[in-house]
Structure 1
Amino acid sequence: MKDQVQQLEYVDPSSLDDTTIIKISEPGQVSRLSSNNNFTNQISKVSQKVSDFWERLPGNIVNFYHEYKFLIISFTLLVVVVNALKILLAVTGAINSIPLASTIFELIGLSYVIWIIFRYFLKSNTQQEVVNEIDSLKSQIPEEDAEKGRRGDEI
């Protein structure tokens, strides 16, 4: 038997791509596998999708706002009112915890009610002023709306 001598092939590393993997299966045979190309293609596709998403985001937000404008405004107002009530209750609780503060505010409210009674309801001429003011407010309401309200019809 004659020994067969295989000539080794020289591969210049500078001629290979960055994504090329060299695998030696048998002595003297060199094969190239390009497994990183698929990975880089997937990365470029994902990065393109992310880039497209960020490009379209402002337009999508504007379209969403125009489509659901009433709901967004209603929800925002609801959140603002709930937070305002929480703050108001917290301030009221803080004032109530101060000694004598709640008693002083009750006295101020009671004195204001007494002043209104003395000012508008004890003298006949001031009572007439109140009646005239109520009549002028009634005259500002359209008559047909008042009739519909009395009959129970829808406005």
Structure 2
Amino acid sequence: METQVQQQEYMNATQEYVNNIDSTSAQAIEKVESKIKSTANEADYQLQVASNKASNFFATLPEYISAFYQQYKLPIIAISALVLGIVVLKVFFAVLGAFNDIPLVAPLFELIGISYTAWFTNRYLLKVETRKELAGEIRSLKAEILGSR
């Protein structure tokens, strides 16, 4: 009989312990659930704030770009022209290099250059009259480009 009483007391103590654990775990679960809900609400709020900021930024972006372009128009054009010039030179030298890789083309270009230099020297640089003629042509070309003063 005594063992039954001890068993009964043990069962009651165990039941009380389980009930205490259940109530504390239920409270803990409720706390976690409320934190999750508050965190989810906070995350939704932060997401909404971020999306509002992004939409405002993209709405005013064309105005920012046009104001930036108006303020820095000349430097933008100069940098663009410089980049375009570099690209054109790279393409030109690539094409020239491709022509030089073709057999007999490089010597032909050299022959043409030497021939033109010989003709120019004979035509404009050997006699005084032709040098004066060349100087006059250079002056007239300069006046056309820069305007006459």
TM-score, normalising length: structure 2: 0.59
Q: Give the Cα separation in 2 of the matches to 1:48 and 1:110.
A: 70
The residue aligned with 1:96 is: 100
Q: For CA contacts below 8 A with separation 6 or more, give which structure has more relative contact order.
A: 1
Matched, 1:51 2:55: yes
- The structure in which a higher percent of residues are strand is 1
The residue aligned with 1:40 is: 44
- The structure in which a higher percent of residues are helix is 2
**How many Å apart are 1:138 and its aligned residue?**
8.3
Structure 1 residue corresponding to 2:72, chosen from 61, 68, 71: 68
Residues 49/124 of structure 1: CA separation in 2 closer, same or farther (3 Å cut) = closer
**How many Å apart are 1:134 and its aligned residue?**
5.3
Structure 2 residue corresponding to 1:78, chosen from 43, 59, 82: 82
Q: Give the Cα separation in 1 of the matches to 2:116 and 2:59.
A: 62
**How many Å apart are 1:76 and its aligned residue?**
1.3
- 2:103 aligns to what SS in structure 1? coil
Amino acid at match of 1:53: F
1:109-146 CA distance string (max 9 Å, x none): 2222223334345677655644554566788765xxxx
Amino acid at match of 2:121: I
Q: Give the Cα separation in 2 of the matches to 1:136 and 1:73.
A: 31
Which has the larger Rg?
2
- 2:102 aligns to what SS in structure 1? coil
- Percent sequence identity over aligned pairs: 42
Q: Give the Cα separation in 2 of the matches to 1:129 and 1:76.
A: 40
Amino acid at match of 1:39: A
Q: Give the Cα separation in 2 of the matches to 1:131 and 1:68.
A: 41
Unaligned runs of 5+ in 1: 1-23, 26-31, 143-155
The residue aligned with 2:111 is: 107
- Alpha-carbon RMSD: 3.5
Q: Give the Cα separation in 1 of the matches to 2:63 and 2:57.
A: 10
Q: Give the Cα separation in 2 of the matches to 1:138 and 1:89.
A: 29
TM-score, normalising length: structure 1: 0.57
Q: How many residues align?
A: 116
